[in-house]
Amino acid sequence: MAQRKGTKSGGDGGSTGDTAGGGTGRDMGPGTGARGFIPKAGPGLGAASPVMVAGPGRSFINIPGMRHAVPLGPAVPSVSEVAMFDIGQVMADKNFASLDEANRELRKMIMRGPIPRSEPPDGEARAQRLAYDAYEDLSFGEDGLRLADQALAFHPDCADAYLYKAMALEMDDVAKAVVLGRQAVEAGERALGQDWLEESSGELWGHIEARPLLRSYLFLARTLWDLGSRLNAVVYLEDALDFDGKEDGLGLRYLLLSWYLDMGEEMRSSLLLDRYKREKSAVWLYGDALLKYWMRGEDRTSLARARKALKANPHVAALLLGDGCGRPPDPRTYAYGDESEAWFCTELLVGAWEREGDALEWLDEVRKRPVSQKRRPR
């Protein structure tokens, strides 16, 4: 495991959507071709017209209107990630006189659509393309496993190939899945290099080539948590969030907050909430309300936080209290305030809310209490 970096400062946390990034290299400057495109994460491909902002060594693609991805399912590559990988490979053969020219070509390619599939001939890029192909088989059958093995033959440090094999074993041999998960983390760290990881810590989500490592951290952390190795799981997830930074494209902060609350870690929960203090999601608001009630009982602050959470998404309280909505049609994504977000939030926080004796009773009282009534009835 990479050495822990210092905690990065907050911000509002960015989107956890199916985000766009691109590029396959770390050495780009103007006029060097597409290997230098290392886009930052923004809302993903497929909605409105892309807004592009370029700078030395980096291209930003921001497309508004995306829903947010739920970080509870398999840690698999997003459609937009694969698309941006393919864009990077297609543009890698081109030489541009300036970054403006490269941006114009990139804009044309995105607007023409669909993104052409790349076929890297060999090496690390070929391995990654094969790994992406493997993830098209989410039954984790023989075809997917064969592609993962082929990827490792081209590049023995292909983290996504190890991760795919780990997920294939998760249900049948969890101990071996943990071994493969650790191999995925180690392979990803070797492929990126410790010097580059230290230089880029806090902004890895913006680099396509770093996302397999982040996925591997997430998988290993969740698997260890499920096995009861909670302290080790928390360390891996904390490291992943430090690497990921304020963009937090995988939504690691939500899972980490739920774990802190489950463990009764009031101080760590408070620090994490402050780190993303502008966060508006239901997980953050209901987690904050619960923490304030734990620490202070009902006072002006805890009451205000509870009412803020109830206003942002009342469906969460309904689910926590057993009178909620039906299962959302697409549990993989959500939008702020909707029923899908409520399911996501409840799945993460129900254990913590139930852990505190009268917290749910208090939440029920607050939602039924007139806003003009400031205090709990005696």
Residue 66 pLDDT exceeds 50:
no
Q: What's the rounded Cα separation, in Å, for the pair 19 and 128?
A: 18
**Stronger pLDDT, 262 or 73, i.e. the higher one:** 262
Q: Provide the mean pLDDT of the chain.
A: 80
pTM to 2 decimal places: 0.79
Question: Options 1.25.40.10, 3.40.50.300, 1.20.1250.20, 3.40.50.720; which CATH number does 34-248 get?
Answer: 1.25.40.10
pLDDT tens-digit series, residues 299-322: 999 999 999 999 999 999 999 998
Q: What's the rounded Cα separation, in Å, for the pair 214 and 237?
A: 9
Q: How many CB atoms lie within 10 A of CB 107?
A: 15
Percentage, residues of the chain above pLDDT 70: 76
**Stronger pLDDT, 74 or 58, i.e. the higher one:** 74
State the pLDDT at residue 239.
95
Q: What's the rounded Cα separation, in Å, for the pair 282 and 72?
A: 15
State the pLDDT at residue 90.
80
pLDDT tens-digit series, residues 150-192: 999 999 999 999 999 999 999 899 999 999 999 999 999 999 9
Q: What's the rounded Cα separation, in Å, for the pair 352 and 258?
A: 7
Which two three-digit tokens encode residue 186?
A: 């180690």
With cut-offs at 50, 70 and 90, classify the pLDDT of residue 328.
Answer: low
Residue 355 pLDDT exceeds 70:
yes
With cut-offs at 50, 70 and 90, classify the pLDDT of residue 24.
Answer: very low
Q: What angle do CA 68, 70, 76 make, to 5 degrees?
A: 105
With cut-offs at 50, 70 and 90, classify the pLDDT of residue 78.
Answer: confident
Which amino acid, 293?
Y
| Mutual angle of helices 339-355 and 359-368, in 10-degree steps | 130
With cut-offs at 50, 70 and 90, classify the pLDDT of residue 69.
Answer: low
Q: What's the rounded Cα separation, in Å, for the pair 121 and 154?
A: 10
**Which residues contact residue 155 at a Cβ distance below 8 angstroms, ignoring those fewer than 6 apart?**
123, 124, 126, 127, 128, 191
Q: Where are the domains of the chain?
A: 34-248, 265-368
Q: How many CB atoms lie within 10 A of CB 299?
A: 12
Segment 228-237 shows an average pLDDT of: 96
Contact between 290 and 264 under an 8 Å Cβ cutoff? The reply is no
Residue 1's SS3 state is coil
Segment 225-235 shows an average pLDDT of: 96
Contact between 236 and 220 under an 8 Å Cβ cutoff? The reply is yes
Which two three-digit tokens encode residue 162?
A: 């190890």
With cut-offs at 50, 70 and 90, classify the pLDDT of residue 89.
Answer: confident
Residue 358 pLDDT exceeds 70:
yes
Q: What's the rounded Cα separation, in Å, for the pair 325 and 343?
A: 9
With cut-offs at 50, 70 and 90, classify the pLDDT of residue 263.
Answer: very high
Q: What angle do CA 291, 240, 75 make, to 5 degrees?
A: 95
State the pLDDT at residue 362.
96
With cut-offs at 50, 70 and 90, classify the pLDDT of residue 329.
Answer: low
State the pLDDT at residue 121.
85
Contact between 74 and 138 under an 8 Å Cβ cutoff? The reply is yes
Residue 64 pLDDT exceeds 60:
no
**Which residues contact residue 197 at a Cβ distance below 8 angstroms, ignoring those fewer than 6 apart?**
2, 189, 204, 243
